[in-house]
Chains A and B, each alone.
Chain A
Amino acid sequence: MHDKIEDIEIRLLLEALFLKYHYDFRKYAAASVKRRLRQAKEAMGFETFSAMQEALLHDASMLPRLLGYLTVQVSEMFRDPSYFRAIREKVVPHLRTYPSLRLWVAGCSEGEELYSLVILFREEGLEDRTLFYATDINQDALARAEAGVFDLERIQHFTENHRQSGGHSSLSSYYSAAYGRASFDKTLRKQVVFADHSLVTDAVFAEMHLISCRNVLIYFDRELQDRAIGLFKDSLARKGFLGLGAKENLRFSGHAGAFLDFVREEKIYQRRTE
């Protein structure tokens, strides 16, 4: 029918990316990948995806730029405040009963979600007993997350979200502002481990009490979503919690039976005891 050649070229490009660099986008949601690859092709000035593939195979310096297009770094602090409110009001009371905690922000992007949770845990008095793992496949994003610097113009929105999430401290007490930027306090990172980890190709690395993985699964096809959810299932302690993005759910997953709806409207699930 229409433009099937382009589809073939895209498959070959993703195959090359995997074989040469071990980044596996072959089972990401196809329409979104195609859209982002078209943007990359245009911005990098290639006529065809085949030309792009050839360049990618022979020039490793193209990789970070391409990954920048393929991974979507759209985030905000306390995104969907009602989710963080539910973590605070419904999940935290359970977590309080543990002497030590491990929390995993999977697909942490530039750190917005991580800092939100660290601040929430500090407000609730749980930070010191918690080890936070923040993982992503995009190295640039991880480096930014580790730096904890955000454009000052985004802060007003973050502050409003924080307030709506039930935050009972002032967000401004966690950063210092200068030259149009807000630098978040390094003490917020003292309990954090940043790591390069892929939900597609990597394995379980620790037992978690809470996994927050928001707006990442939406970029996967169903099979890949299921792989990631299996990974979460295997990573969670008994009665551990899994929080997903507002439009993600376990309904179509083969692992759905291993979880209970904990806060249904906020896509927060609890691992069954078995």
Chain B
Amino acid sequence: MSAPGAIVIGASAGALEALSVLLPALPASFASPVFVVVHLPPDRKSILAEIFQAKCRIPVHEAEDKEPIMAGTIYFAPPNYHLLIETENSLALSSDEPVRYSRPSIDVLFESAADTYGPALTAIVLTGANPDGADGLRRIGLAGGTVLVQDPTEAMAPEMPLAALAACPTAQVLPLAGIASFLLGV
């Protein structure tokens, strides 16, 4: 039996533009759940789910605690909470301390997703100005998952992809357009 798999994405500075290329490219038939952590100000409501619902062909939610995971759905971590994958059927939020100043933290999502999905996971690190996601990407690589990093020369902020590559040298480096076509093939 092959696991259904999942996609995890982390981004910070420049996230909106990068995700606006990737997420609307996903077809209505897209089968995997997609979990996204974007660094956000902690004390304001996020409008990411609304913005992307208007642009995407698959449902977009802001993740709720213990929400069932549905195929072909995009989940954004809410501001001020970590997003974790509990099981292949359920996600969870936590108000644990920020990790490297970030809550939600990309590393926290990536680590729990690696535990749950192992080799059936595809992880993507996009533009950002801090090293969050690098540790998590390394773990996903070790667990046999597919690891992709946005080409730092193209990223609006190259620090995050560069840190991810340093921690996980086996990651494939692709421009956004290449990541989008890769996702259409999963």
Q: Using a CB–CB distance below 8 Å, which chain A residues touch chain B? A: 1-3, 29-32, 34-36, 72, 74, 215, 217-219, 221-222, 225, 245-249, 251-252
Q: Across the A-B interface, give the 9 residue pairs with the lowest CB-CB distance, nearest first.
A: A2-B118, A31-B84, A31-B112, A29-B92, A32-B94, A215-B95, A1-B118, A2-B143, A247-B93
B95: chain A residues at CB < 8 Å are 72, 74, 215, 218, 245, 247
Binding site secondary structure of chain B: mixed
Interface size on B, residues (CB 8 A): 27
Report the minimum CB–CB distance from A25 to chain B (whole Å): 14
Q: Is B179 an interface residue (CB 8 A)?
A: no
Q: Is B154 an interface residue (CB 8 A)?
A: no
Other than A31-B115, A35-B108, A218-B95, give 12 A-B pairs with Cβ distance below 8 A: A29-B66, A31-B84, A31-B85, A31-B86, A36-B96, A72-B94, A217-B65, A218-B92, A221-B66, A222-B66, A225-B66, A247-B81
Q: Is B175 an interface residue (CB 8 A)?
A: no
Give CA–CA (A221, B85) in the complex, Å.
Answer: 12
Nearest-CB residue, chain A, relative to B66: A222
B65 near A247: Cβ-Cβ < 8 Å = yes
Give CA–CA (A29, B80) in the complex, Å.
Answer: 18
B93 near A218: Cβ-Cβ < 8 Å = yes
Name the interface residues of B88-119: CB closer than 8 Å to any CB of A. 90, 92-97, 108, 111-112, 114-116, 118-119
B115: chain A residues at CB < 8 Å are 2-3, 31, 34
Q: Using a CB–CB distance below 8 Å, which chain B residues touch chain A? A: 64-66, 78, 80-81, 84-87, 90, 92-97, 108, 111-112, 114-116, 118-119, 143-144
**A72-B96 contact given A2-B118, A247-B78, CB 8 Å threshold:** yes
A29 near B86: Cβ-Cβ < 8 Å = yes
A221: chain B residues at CB < 8 Å are 66, 86
B97 near A74: Cβ-Cβ < 8 Å = yes
Residue from A3, A35, A247 within 8 A of B64 (CB atoms): A247
Cβ contacts A to B, 20 pairs, < 8 Å: A1-B119, A2-B114, A2-B118, A2-B143, A3-B115, A29-B84, A29-B86, A31-B84, A31-B85, A31-B92, A31-B112, A32-B96, A35-B111, A35-B112, A72-B94, A215-B95, A218-B93, A247-B93, A247-B95, A249-B64
Give CA–CA (A273, B90) in the complex, Å.
Answer: 33
B66 near A32: Cβ-Cβ < 8 Å = no
A225: chain B residues at CB < 8 Å are 66
Give CA–CA (A173, B78) in the complex, Å.
Answer: 35
A218 near B65: Cβ-Cβ < 8 Å = yes
B80: chain A residues at CB < 8 Å are 246
Give CA–CA (A247, B80) in the complex, Å.
Answer: 10
